[in-house]
Amino acid sequence: MNTEQIKKWDIDWSKRFPIRLMKKQKERFLQELERELQERRFETERVNTKSFVILNRSLVTKCKKPRVIFLAHYDTPTIMPPWCSVIFRFFGHTRQMMGLLFILALLWTPSFVAFFSKQPQISTAMAIICLALMITSISLLIPNPHNREDNTSGVIGLMALADWAQDKSLVKEHIQFVFLDNEELGLLGSNGMKQLWNKQKHPYSDAAIICLDCISRGQKPLIVYHKDDAIAQRVMPFLQKHLPETKKIDMNIIPISDNYVFREVGAIAISFADTSLIPGGYYIPRIHSPTDNDLSPANLSSLVAGLTEFLLHETLEPSTE
């Protein structure tokens, strides 16, 4: 993959579409994606679904019988409190339940200590700590100003694959690209898409579903699956050829990205991560933070190279149907 095109998208989109949280911001970016895909002769359609009162605005390329479906969420997050980032750096996003329990303990301990303590100075100190934690949590209401890793990198990954496939008619016939909304609100876009596909009898269960989320900055390429590792096993050798450090990890019932919604058909997510300070875990550095303001074209390009070889294998092999 030409890393210059990756750099161009990164620089351009980080300037023009840094935040994609509100309706107008999302609409402008979707129009840009539509234009890029249509220039590469992909037919596109908008897919709107509703989760309670929240509208999910997604974009898909048309494909009747996909053998490979790529997912990436294009919405962007708010700012995570700094102390949350520190906790996940210790435990890792792959141990997020442990991290969340620690956060809850951190939030509630000052209240309990203050309640049971008979010493006024301890109660006061605990109250100050609790207040500080609450004040810093206000950042969750503030849109993150830079989102080059989470998840502009995943969107660029899909566009790079579309760019590579544009003149390969046999490959295009069997791949589908899905740009999902509201992953940051709890995988709402992918849940809505799955419900719609079930109603339409979309053959997604016959395809390898691969979600790209935060695919440039970390040192370790991870293939995340949930119990069923069949697709992970198929993809692994193609990625290891270009990224020898690639490993797979079973997240079981813990969601990491939109692939979790399609876990019963073995869907995987691919991310780059660093090892946590407590050994055994992995965390994605500097996401949900104003410091999410760089991207590694080399990592992303190597990943795309591996995925294009996987695509050739999956789409040009005779169908088993």
pLDDT at 108 (0 to 100)? 64
* One-letter-per-residue 3-state SS of the chain: CCHHHHHHHHHHHHHHCCCCCCHHHHHHHHHHHHHHHHHCCCCEEEEEEEECCEEEEEEEECCCCCCEEEEEECCCCECCCHHHHHHHHHHCHHHHHHHHHHHHHHHHHHHHHHHHCCCHHHHHHHHHHHHHHHHHHHHHHCECCCCHHHHHHHHHHHHHHHHHHCCCHHHHCCEEEEEECCCCCCCHHHHHHHHHHHHHCCCHHHCEEEEECCCCCCCEEEEEECCCCHHHHHHHHHHHHHCCCCEEEECCCCCCCHHHHHHHHCCEEEEEEEECCCCCCEECCCCCCCCCCCCCHHHHHHHHHHHHHHHHHHHHCCCCC
pLDDT at 33 (0 to 100)? 98
Query: Which residues of the chain fall below pLDDT 70?
Result: 1, 95-127, 129, 318-321
Architecture of domain 3-79+144-316: 3-Layer(aba) Sandwich (3.40)
Contacts of 39 (CB under 8 A, 6+ apart): none
Q: Report in angstroms the alpha-carbon separations of 261 from 75, 117, 190, 271.
A: 17, 45, 7, 17
Find, among 75, 14, 15, 76, the residue nearest to 289 by Cα: 76
Contact 65, 188 (CB under 8 A): no
Q: Full-prediction pTM beyond 0.85?
A: yes
Q: Where in the chain is the domain with CATH 3.40.630.10?
A: 3-79+144-316
Residues 176 and 183: their CA atoms lie apart, in Å, by: 19
pLDDT at 94 (0 to 100)? 73
Which residues sit opposite 197 in a β-bridge? none
Mean pLDDT of the chain: 90
pLDDT digits (tens, 9 = 90+) for 31-64: 999 999 999 999 999 999 998 899 999 999 999 9
Which residues sit opposite 57 in a β-bridge? 48
pLDDT at 107 (0 to 100)? 62
